[in-house]
Amino acid sequence: MKKKTIGWVLLGLVVFGAISFASYHIYQEKMLQSEKENKKVLNDRLADLYEDQTLGYFKADISAEAFDDLTSEVKNQRGERRTLDEIAQAKKNFELQTDLNELFESDVLNGMDLSAHPVLKTPNENQIQTLKNQANESPAKDKEWGQDITMLLGIAETQAKDFTAAENDVKNLVNKGSELTLSDYLTGVKTLAVLPDGKFKQQLLDQLAPVKNQLANENASFATQIQQSDASMETARKSYQERQAKVLAERNKELTALKKDLAKKQATYDSYKDLLESIEDSKKDESSRKDSEKESRSRESDSESSSSSDAESSDSVEDE
């Protein structure tokens, strides 16, 4: 009796061990599947912050808080170091774009739209150089977004140099006082002429107004030549802005075509995504059904083993 009892006990332990191992294996598989699903969700959340992640363009009108929220969510997941690094780099790129926009009187890059008439607030050449360095260090510098950032920083750099030159010339004209000649004035305002219309240019014009009025009041012929100079300044300004606008208009045309292409791709992607999700749901249902059947068979096997053990025990008692 004792040998039979020990045998059944051992059999029970083996069955229990097998069931435990199978349950643990199923648990591990579910955990891995859950982690994969979580990673996919988080990666999709990161992709949602872009107009197009491959090209590097961020969605219009998002804020840095969106990256912070996603970072906090990822930190609650296991083994997502790579995703955290990707979010951190994306936030750096977004902050670079934000700082670039801050250089100008209005945003020059928002989503996939470029401003046709970027105008600097002030000639902050040190800040522009800092942003150029950041752009060169960014892994996204060779993407379409990175190339546009570089182009806009080039425009900022050119304008800053023109702003500084015009500012210096206006200061020199004002400082000449009564010694100022018409020749000095006509030469000095050439750098001011090409500046795009904006607050900084208007400040320089306001500083120059007393000097301009002084010369005009001194001689009627001076007034005529100053008027001619003003007309030349307007022509130079328009020419400067037209050249700049032409480059940006061509780029905007390219971006518009890209947006149309992306919209078509997105529609196709959404269609495939719905199909894949449907297939995945079917697989999950089938897997759950098989797991249920497996667990049911295990319970039936345990029940049969228990019944056999009880029967053997009863037979042993009767033999005694």
Average pLDDT over residues 70-90: 81
Band the pLDDT of 102: cuts 50, 70, 90: very high
In our burial notation (b when 16+ CB lie closer than 10 A, e otherwise), range 92-104 reads bbbebbeebbebb
More confident of the two residues 148 and 280:
148
Residue 283: which pLDDT band, with cuts at 50, 70 and 90? Answer: low
- Structural Rg of the chain based on CA atoms: 37
- Say how far apart CA 184 and CA 194 lie, in whole Å: 18
Query: Which run of H or of E encompasses 50?
Result: strand 50-52
In whole angstroms, give the CA distance from residue 131 to residue 266: 32
- The mean per-residue pLDDT over the stretch 210-214 comes to 83
Report DSSP state, residue 258.
H
What residues form DSSP beta bridges with 262? none
Rounded CA separation 161/120 (Å):
11
Residue-level pLDDT at 188: 84
- What number is the average pLDDT over the span 296-316? 54
* Domains: count for the chain: 1
What is the spatial distance between Cα 207 and Cα 167, in angstroms, rounded to a whole number? 10
pLDDT tens digits, one per residue of 233-264: 666 666 666 666 676 777 777 767 666 665 65
- For residue range 123-159, list pLDDT tens digits in order: 999 999 999 999 999 999 999 999 999 999 999 999 9
In the predicted structure, residue 196 carries a pLDDT above the cut 70: yes
Question: Average pLDDT over the chain, rounded to whole?
Answer: 77
Higher pLDDT residue, 146 or 317? 146
For the ranges 66-70, 85-89, 115-119, 169-173, the lowest mean pLDDT is seen at 115-119
Percentage with pLDDT > 90 across the chain: 34
Integer Cα distance of 169 and 187 in angstroms: 9
Tell me what the mean pLDDT of segment 202-214 comes to: 89
Can you give the pLDDT at residue 302?
A: 56
pLDDT band at 318 (very low <50, low <70, confident <90, very high): very low
pLDDT band at 45 (very low <50, low <70, confident <90, very high): confident
pLDDT at 32: 55
Confidence at residue 317, expressed as pLDDT on a 0 to 100 scale = 38
Maximum average pLDDT range among 81-90, 158-167, 221-230: 158-167
pLDDT of residue 226: 64
CB–CB of 219/210 below 8 Å? no
Residues forming beta bridges with residue 109, ordered by sequence position: 114
> Which residues form the domain of 306?
2-319
Q: Which of 180, 166, 165 is nearest to 210 (CA)?
A: 180
Q: What does the pLDDT average to over 309-315? A: 49
> What tokens does 225 get?
């030549």
| Strand, helix or coil for residue 110 | strand
> What is the average per-residue pLDDT within 91-100?
97
pLDDT digits (tens, 9 = 90+) for 258-272: 666 656 555 554 554
**Secondary structure of 236-260 as H, E, C letters:** HHHHHHHHHHHHHHHHHHHHHHHHH
Name which residue leads in pLDDT, 35 or 157: 157
Question: Average pLDDT of 211-229?
Answer: 72
What is the distance between the alpha carbons of residues 104 and 118, in angstroms, rounded to a whole number? 6
pTM for this model (two decimals): 0.67
Q: Which of 68-82, 132-146, 272-286 has the highest mean pLDDT?
A: 132-146
CA 88 to CA 80: how far, in whole Å? 12
